[in-house]
Amino acid sequence: MTVFALGPDEQEWCAALRAMTAERLSPLAEKGTEGRVNRPLVAALGELGLLRRLFPDDGPLRALDLCLLRESLAQECTEAETALALQGLGTYPVVQSGTEAQRARWVPEVAAGRAVAAFALSEPDAGSDAAALSLAAEPDGPGRWRLTGEKCWISNAPEADFATVFARTGGPGPRGVTAFLVPADRPGVSGTHLDLLSPHPIGTLVFDGTPVTGEDVLGEVDGGFAVAMGTLNLFRPSVGAFAVGMAQAALDAAVAHAGARTAFGGPLKDLQSVGHQLAEMATRTEAARLLVYAAATAYDTGARDIARRSAMAKLLATETAQYVVDAAVQIHGARALRRGHLLEHLYREVRAPRIYEGATEVQRSIIAKELYRA
């Protein structure tokens, strides 16, 4: 069943979440330092029960619930949205593939906002082509390895308390990858911050003979690529939801500005060029939203075409958000480029989702492959 509209209860919940975000989370985000983990913000996400929603007691997380959560947060505070999403991304391999001991150790801490997680897949020479990763897990006795190499473009690195780390235990390609749960205090782990256009925390992780054992393995040895894809398949539609939230925030700002700004003898909104631009922004945003909801519902119902739907949702939503934010800046003029303006912030935020968790070009390749498969 495809979701074309939210019910009254879902609409009310999303509105309440937006209000709570503006009141409780935005002030904490403003006090944080760009490019660094905002632990008070993460703690507040835990105290308000939002992180707990990522790990429901009555069954697996619904992709649609995750999308509604991320979209609502993003409309009011992208920092809060990103902090929550990164907690889920880094922890879900533990939820889906970890042992009872691994889940008991880390999931309650993440849900409470006391521990920060990272998802360490990308490398300097293995970004979109994740199966080409080269971080070595060198044998060090039965059921023991030492990790040697570097991960790059890792959100929450190097400040995370633990990371899901994907390393090569076998031959080339996806079948030789193993997922490990690596605490930050393990010997040989270090890292540096990266200063990017995007304001969220990101950096490198370096492993210098870091010891890991069979107790640190998530899932099966040489089965780590499936662990990674299992997490990404769940989170990919919600990246689209994040993008839709940013697009809606930019659209709302543009509509308000066009109604209040006077130019050429009347409100800016009365100019046909502006009105048509707003109409195009609104239509594209709604189309992206519906595609995201449809992909999430496909995931929740176990549809066979989830790979295609998720790729389409992320592709359209992230490209749409880039367009809408840019158009909103154009409508506002130079004031939108001032440091601290909402649209200046969104302009920097909106670029990264077109790259991470599968770049736009990768999504198109997935869609094409699925079309031929069908």
- The domains of the chain are located at 8-111, 118-225, 226-373
Which pLDDT band holds residue 273 (cuts at 50, 70, 90)?
very high
Please tell me the predicted confidence (pLDDT) of residue 172. Answer: 87
- Between CA 222 and CA 244 the distance in angstroms is 36
Which pLDDT band holds residue 147 (cuts at 50, 70, 90)?
very high
Which pLDDT band holds residue 64 (cuts at 50, 70, 90)?
very high
CATH 1.10.540.10 given to domain 8-111: yes
Give, as one character, the DSSP assignment of residue 21.
I
- In 3-state terms, what secondary structure has residue 217? strand
Residue 2 has pLDDT above 70, yes or no: no
Please tell me the predicted confidence (pLDDT) of residue 3. Answer: 60
5's tokens: 């509209």
Where does the chain show beta strands of DSSP type E? 117-120, 136-139, 144-155, 162-168, 177-183, 189-190, 202-213, 217-218, 262-263, 266-267
Residue-level length of the chain: 374
Contacts of 335 (CB under 8 A, 6+ apart): 341
Name the CATH architecture for the domain at 118-225.
Beta Barrel (2.40)
* Residue in the structure block whose two tokens are 């944080």: 32
Please tell me the predicted confidence (pLDDT) of residue 128. Answer: 72
Please tell me the predicted confidence (pLDDT) of residue 264. Answer: 84
Please tell me the predicted confidence (pLDDT) of residue 58. Answer: 86
- For residue 105, count CB atoms less than 10 angstroms from its CB and return exposed for 0-12, middle for 13-18, buried for 19 or more: middle
Residue 130 has pLDDT above 80, yes or no: no
Q: Point out which residues pair with 123 in neighbouring strands.
A: 126
Residue 263 has pLDDT above 80, yes or no: yes
The mean predicted confidence, pLDDT, of the chain is: 95
Question: Which region holds residue 7: left if phi is over 0, alpha if psi is between -120 and 50, else beta?
Answer: beta
Return phi, psi of residue 206, to 5°: -115, 135
Nearest Cα neighbor of 79 from 44, 31, 29 is 29
pTM: 0.94
Please tell me the predicted confidence (pLDDT) of residue 131. Answer: 76
| CATH code assigned to 226-373 | 1.20.140.10
240's tokens: 């689209």
Q: Are 114 and 64 in contact (CB under 8 A)?
A: no
Q: Average pLDDT in the 211-228 region?
A: 96
Q: For residue range 297-336, list pLDDT tens digits in order.
A: 999 999 999 999 999 999 999 999 999 999 999 999 999 9
Q: Do domains 118-225 and 226-373 have the same CATH topology?
A: no
> In sequence order, what DSSP letters do the residues of 279-293 get, joined into one string?
HHHHHHHHHHHHHHH
Please tell me the predicted confidence (pLDDT) of residue 287. Answer: 97
Q: Average pLDDT in the 162-169 region?
A: 97
Nearest Cα neighbor of 17 from 87, 84, 71, 92 is 71
Residue 265 has pLDDT above 90, yes or no: no
Q: Average pLDDT in the 137-148 region?
A: 96
Active-site annotation holder among 100, 109, 357, 370: 357
Q: For residue range 245-258, list pLDDT tens digits in order.
A: 999 999 999 999 99
The CA–CA distances, whole Å, from 11 to 22, 23, 68, 82, 293 equal: 17, 19, 9, 22, 14
Segment among 61-70, 126-135, 275-284, 362-371 with least mean pLDDT? 126-135
Q: Average pLDDT in the 226-233 region?
A: 92
Q: Average pLDDT in the 47-74 region?
A: 95
Q: Is 357 a catalytic residue?
A: yes
Return phi, psi of residue 208, to 5°: -115, 80
Residue 41 has pLDDT above 60, yes or no: yes
